[in-house]
Amino acid sequence: EPEVTQTPSHQVTQMGQEVILRCVPISNHLYFYWYRQILGQKVEFLVSFYNNEISEKSEIFDDQFSVERPDGSNFTLKIRSTKLEDSAMYFCASTQGTRLSYEQYFGPGTRLTVT
């Protein structure tokens, strides 16, 4: 069964460093997302991506964040200068976005720890 994959599973970085989180969405999906979940809290939307551009972003997704789809398969989230409060689980998700299939599938997540 196709699945969303994410690498790395865990990333530890120092405050102020840049990190890139990687995702491979399901191949025939058209919409891609990043969400984050601070430990013990609910899942929060960061950004959605469609047709090679950002379609919506939350107030969390400030200038420190960027997304890219550098080729036909990868989807990346970059945090330019990490802060302690960026420590969270980051989930990539994708959906076909058609009337027949609105299900949104999540990757296993990348746990980011900023020290």
Partner 1 sequence: AQKITQTQPGMFVQEKEAVTLDCTYDTSDPSYGLFWYKQPSSGEMIFLIYQGSYDQQNATEGRYSLNFQKARKSANLVISASQLGDSAMYFCAMREGLSDYKLSFGAGTTVTVRA
Tokens of 85: 């409060």
How far apart, in whole angstroms, are the C-alpha atoms of residue 64 and residue 82? 8
How far is residue 3 CA from its own chain's centroid? 15
Return the residue of 12, 20, 102, 115 that touches partner 1, per CB under 8 A: 102
The torsion region of residue 28 among left (phi > 0), alpha (psi -120 to 50) and beta comes to alpha
Q: Report DSSP state, residue 41.
A: S
Residue 89, interface with partner 1 (CB under 8 A)? yes
Q: Mark the segment that binds partner 1 (CB under 8 A) among 15-23, 70-78, 80-88, 106-114.
A: 106-114
Q: Mark the segment that binds partner 1 (CB under 8 A) among 20-28, 37-45, 62-70, 71-79.
A: 37-45
Return the residue of 44, 64, 66, 74 that touches partner 1, per CB under 8 A: 44
Residue 35, interface with partner 1 (CB under 8 A)? yes
Residue 90, interface with partner 1 (CB under 8 A)? no
How far apart, in whole angstroms, are the C-alpha atoms of residue 19 and residue 1? 30
Q: By C-alpha distance, which of 20, 22, 26, 21 is closest to 4?
A: 26
Which CB atom, from 25 or from 109, has the smaller least distance to partner 1?
109
Residues that bind partner 1 (CB under 8 A): 31, 33, 35, 41-45, 48, 50, 55-56, 89, 91, 93, 95, 97, 102-109, 111
